[in-house]
Chains A and B, each alone.
Chain A
Amino acid sequence: MLELRDVTAGYGPTEVLHGISLTVGPGEIVTLVGSNGAGKTTTLGVVGGRVQVRAGDVRFDGVDLRRKRPDQRAALGIGQVPEGRRLFNSLSVRDNLVLGGFAHRRRRAEAKAKLAEVFELFPILEERAGAEARTLSGGEAQQLAIGRALMASPRLILLDEPSLGLAPRMVGRVFDTLRRLQERGVAVLVAEQNAMQALAVAQEGYVLVRGRVTMRDAAANLRDNPEIVSTYLGGVAA
C-alpha cells in the first residue's frame, strides 16, 4: 500500500534521511524505532507531504506522492496526526472533527454517520463536542487529533509521538485505539519514543539510526532482541 524506496530528504541544506526504504501493507501497524534525531518525524513528513523528497520514490497504492500536496494526500486516504496534534484551537471539538472530513465534501447525513462512528470510538469527544479544542486535556486532545484524522476515512494513518505528554493510563488507551483502527482495516505508521508499547501493537518495526534503516523485522522479534531493547527500549527484553 505504502512504499518508500531509497528516499533521501531533509530541510534546507541539511540532509536527514539517506536512502530509506520501507513498506506498510493494508491494515498493518508499522512502528519506527529510533532515538531523537534518527529521522522518524522526517520519514512521516515525507509520507505526509511536509518534507520534500530529494531522491527516491514514494508511492501510495501505486500513486506517486512526490508532487502531491499534503491536502491532496489527505484526499487520497492518508490521515495525519502530527506531532503537537495541530488542532484548531478556537473551534469546537465537533467543528475540528467535521473539518477532518473536508476533503470529501460529504452530504450532511454521511458526515453525521461518520461523526457517530468517531464518537463511538471516543465517547469523551461526544461529551465535549461543543467545547473549544483549546480547553481539552492532553488525552482528550490526542483522541480528537486521531478522531479528526479518521473523519476522512483514511486507509493509512500517520501518527507522530501519539503518547507524548500523556499520563500512563491514557498512553495505554491510545495504543488500544491503534488496535481498534487495525480491526477496521486502517493501516498505521507510527513514530514513538515509547517504543516498547508501540511494538507491542505493531506487526513490523524499522530501526532508524541517523537517517538510515539499520534493521527491519517483525515487531515481536525486535521486542525480544537484547541489543534493540538495551539501546532503544530502555529495559529488559520482554
Chain B
Amino acid sequence: MSSFTQYLFAGLSNGAIYALIAIGWVLIFNVSGVLNLAQGELLMVGGLTFAWLAAETDMPVIAGIVLAIGASVGVAVVLDVVAVRRVKSPEVVPVILVTLGASFVLRELGRIVFGADALRHGYLIDGDPIMIFGAALLPQAVLTWVIVGVVVGLLALFFRRTVFGKAMVACSDDPVGAQASGISPSRMRTIAFGISGALAGLGGVLIISLTSLSWDGGTMIGLKGFIAAVFGGLGRYEGAVAGGLALGMLEAFGAGYVSSAYKDVFSLGLLVVLLLLRPQGLLGGRVVTT
C-alpha cells in the first residue's frame, strides 16, 4: 500500500506539471492551429532562469519566480512576433517547422547562457514529509498541486468570464467569423503564445524545484506535455489536465512496478499507440493533420 501511495504522489506531481505544459500546447493549437515545438524550451528558459537567479543573486524567491516566468513569456512572444508571424504561407507545416528551428536555437542559447551542467533549485517550501498510508508526501508536492490547481482554475475563469478569453475561444471556433467581428487572430495568437510561455515558465520553476534540469532537459518534458495533450484529446483543456495527470501516473507506476529505466518508454510508447489507435484522444478532440 505504501509503495502504491508513493507512486501515486510522484505521478500526481509530475502529472500536474505535464498538465501545465499540455494546456500550453492546446492553447496555441486552438487559437492558431499551430503546434509550438519549442514548448519544452520555454520551460527550460523559465526553470534555468529561476535557478540561475537564485544562485547568482540575493533576489527574493518570489521575484525570481516572476522574472523566470517573465523570461519565458518574453521568449514566447518574441518567437511569435519575430518568427511565426512572418510566415506568409497559409499552411500550418511551415509555421511548425519555424518553431522546431526555434527550439534548436533556444537549446543552444540555453547551453551558452546557463552552461552545460544541470541546475537545481531547492524545494520552494521546506518541512517534514507528511506520512499517508506509509508513504511520504513532501510539502513541495502539495505546493505543486495547489499552484497547478489554482492556475488551471484561473485559466478556466479567463476563458469563461473575460471578453479576451472568449475572443480566444471565438478564434478557435471560427477564425473567419472572429476576424469579421473585429477580433485579430494574429493578436490572439500572440496572447496565446504569451500565456503558453507563462505556463511553461511556471512548469520550469516547479520542475527545477523538484529535480535537476539542464539546457536540453526541456525537450523531453515538452514532448510529454504534447503526449498528455493528445492523450486527453488535442484541443480540449480539461483533456490536457486529465491527460497530464494520467501520463504522470502511468510513468510513476510503470517506473515503480516495472523499472525506472523504462519511464520514457511508457510515455513515448503511449504516443505511438494513441496515434495508431485513437488519434482523437480519450475525450475526443481534433486530429492533427497536415
A and B interact: yes
Chain A residues close to B by CB (< 8 Å)? 48-50, 69-71, 74-75, 79-80, 82, 85-91, 95, 98-104, 148-149, 152
- Of all A-B residue pairs in the complex, the 3 with the closest CB atoms, nearest first, are A103-B182, A86-B177, A74-B182
Complex contact B167–A70 (CB within 8 A) = no
Report Cα–Cα, A88/B181, bound state, in Å.
Answer: 11
Tell me, rounded to whole Å, the shortest Cβ–Cβ distance linking B205 to chain A.
32
Question: Given A71-B182, A99-B181, 4 more contacts at CB 8 Å?
Answer: A82-B180, A88-B170, A91-B170, A149-B181
Question: Which residues of B (145-183) have their CB < 8 Å from a CB of A?
Answer: 163, 166-167, 169-170, 172-174, 176-183
Tell me, rounded to whole Å, the shortest Cβ–Cβ distance linking B70 to chain A.
26
Across-interface contacts of B184 in A (CB, < 8 A): 69, 71
Across-interface contacts of B169 in A (CB, < 8 A): 88, 90-91
Report Cα–Cα, A99/B174, bound state, in Å.
Answer: 12
Chain A residue at minimum C-beta to C-beta distance from B180? A80
Chain B residues close to A by CB (< 8 Å)? 163, 166-167, 169-170, 172-174, 176-185
Complex contact B180–A88 (CB within 8 A) = no
Complex contact A98–B180 (CB within 8 A) = no
Across-interface contacts of B179 in A (CB, < 8 A): 49-50, 69-71, 74
Complex contact B173–A88 (CB within 8 A) = yes
Across-interface contacts of A69 in B (CB, < 8 A): 179, 184
Tell me, rounded to whole Å, the shortest Cβ–Cβ distance linking A43 to chain B.
16
Name B's interface SS.
helix
Tell me, rounded to whole Å, the shortest Cβ–Cβ distance linking A73 to chain B.
8
Across-interface contacts of B163 in A (CB, < 8 A): 98-99, 102
Complex contact B181–A100 (CB within 8 A) = yes
Quick one: given A91-B169, A91-B170, A99-B167, are A82 and B177 in contact (CB under 8 Å)? Answer: yes
Across-interface contacts of A85 in B (CB, < 8 A): 177
Across-interface contacts of A152 in B (CB, < 8 A): 181-182
Chain B residue at minimum C-beta to C-beta distance from A95? B166
Complex contact A86–B180 (CB within 8 A) = yes
Complex contact A48–B166 (CB within 8 A) = no
Chain B residue at minimum C-beta to C-beta distance from A97? B181
Across-interface contacts of B172 in A (CB, < 8 A): 90
Among B166, B176, B178, B185, contact of A98 (Cβ-Cβ < 8 Å): B166
Across-interface contacts of A74 in B (CB, < 8 A): 179-182
Across-interface contacts of A70 in B (CB, < 8 A): 179-180
Tell me, rounded to whole Å, the shortest Cβ–Cβ distance linking A69 to chain B.
7
Complex contact B182–A86 (CB within 8 A) = no
Chain B residue at minimum C-beta to C-beta distance from A86? B177
Complex contact B170–A99 (CB within 8 A) = yes
Tell me, rounded to whole Å, the shortest Cβ–Cβ distance linking A149 to chain B.
8
Complex contact A82–B173 (CB within 8 A) = no
Report Cα–Cα, A87/B174, bound state, in Å.
Answer: 7
Tell me, rounded to whole Å, the shortest Cβ–Cβ distance linking B91 to chain A.
13
- B174, B176, B177, B181: which has the most chain A beta carbons within 10 Å? B181
**Can you report 22 A-B residue pairs in the complex whose CB atoms are below 8 A from each other?**
A69-B184, A70-B179, A71-B178, A71-B183, A71-B185, A74-B181, A80-B180, A82-B177, A86-B177, A87-B173, A87-B174, A88-B177, A88-B178, A89-B174, A91-B170, A98-B163, A99-B183, A100-B182, A101-B182, A102-B182, A102-B183, A103-B181
